[in-house]
């Protein structure tokens, strides 16, 4: 089998590479909008499915036979609102002001697609953030780190200094809940463990 990671996210690439799984990257061009009011847990699954579908459509018959397309989408949820990646520095600052000193949820939807079937699900992690003053948050935005991250922070970077506690899978916050990916692989008779058919 040939794993195709339908993602342009360097974090997702690094997490999958950490397990030593061979894969190729094929970023999807899928539209990342969803109907307003969609619960974040549904939105991330919808978007992960859409990203997997977009890459699937680019494959020819022969490629589809041994392809495993893996896609994911991450959103931060607070007060019934879903926060994606910030548009600009002001937007990032507004998101960070809203999150600081409070608990929010991070959802990542995952979709795994093969010629036989498609499996999709989401993971949820709660993150409690420290209170930081505006000067700190502005300095953080100035590092540029928040710009391509859902909720405008990276738990794996300087954003770690904002975190007080988490409940749930850390890798979900970074953008790819590896345990869930393996569970979905398992439903398709595949594995992320070195016994997987991808090894052949």
Positions marked active-site: 73
What is the CA 170 to chain-centroid distance, rounded? 11
C-alpha 85: how far from its chain's center? 11
Q: Is the dihedral of CA 11, 12, 17, 18 positive or negative?
A: positive
List of residues 6+ apart from 107 with CB closer than 8 A: 40, 41, 43, 44, 74, 75, 76, 77, 122, 123, 124, 172
Residues written for the chain: 200
Contact 182, 191 (CB under 8 A): yes
Q: Which 8-state DSSP code applies to residue 160? A: G
What is the spatial distance between Cα 83 and Cα 95, in angstroms, rounded to a whole number?
Answer: 8
Q: Give SS3 for 131.
A: coil
Q: Which is nearer to ligand TTP, 16 or 76 (CB)?
A: 76
Q: Interface residues with ligand TTP (CB under 6 A)? A: 7-9, 11-12, 27, 32, 51, 72-74, 76, 85, 106, 148-151, 153-156, 159, 173-175
């Amino acid at each position: 089998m040939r794993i195709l990671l339908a993602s342009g996210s360097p974090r997702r690439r690094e997490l999958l590479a950490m397990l030593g799984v061979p894969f190729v990257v094929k970023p999807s061009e899928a539209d990342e909008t969803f109907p307003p009011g969609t619960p974040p847990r549904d939105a991330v699954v919808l978007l992960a499915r859409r990203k997997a579908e977009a890459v699937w459509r680019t494959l020819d018959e022969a490629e589809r036979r041994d392809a495993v397309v893996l896609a994911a989408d991450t959103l931060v949820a607070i007060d019934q609102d879903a926060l994606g990646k910030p548009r600009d520095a002001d937007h990032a600052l507004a998101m960070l002001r809203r999150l600081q000193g409070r608990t929010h949820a991070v959802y990542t939807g995952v979709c795994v697609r093969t010629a036989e079937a498609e499996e999709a699900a989401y993971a949820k992690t709660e993150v409690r953030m420290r209170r930081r003053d505006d000067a700190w948050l502005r300095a953080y935005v100035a590092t540029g780190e928040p710009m391509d991250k859902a909720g405008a922070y990276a738990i794996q970077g300087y954003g770690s200094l904002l975190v007080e506690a988490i409940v749930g899978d850390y890798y979900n916050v970074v953008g790819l809940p590896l345990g869930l990916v393996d569970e979905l692989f398992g439903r398709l008779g595949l594995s992320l463990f070195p016994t997987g058919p991808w090894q052949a």
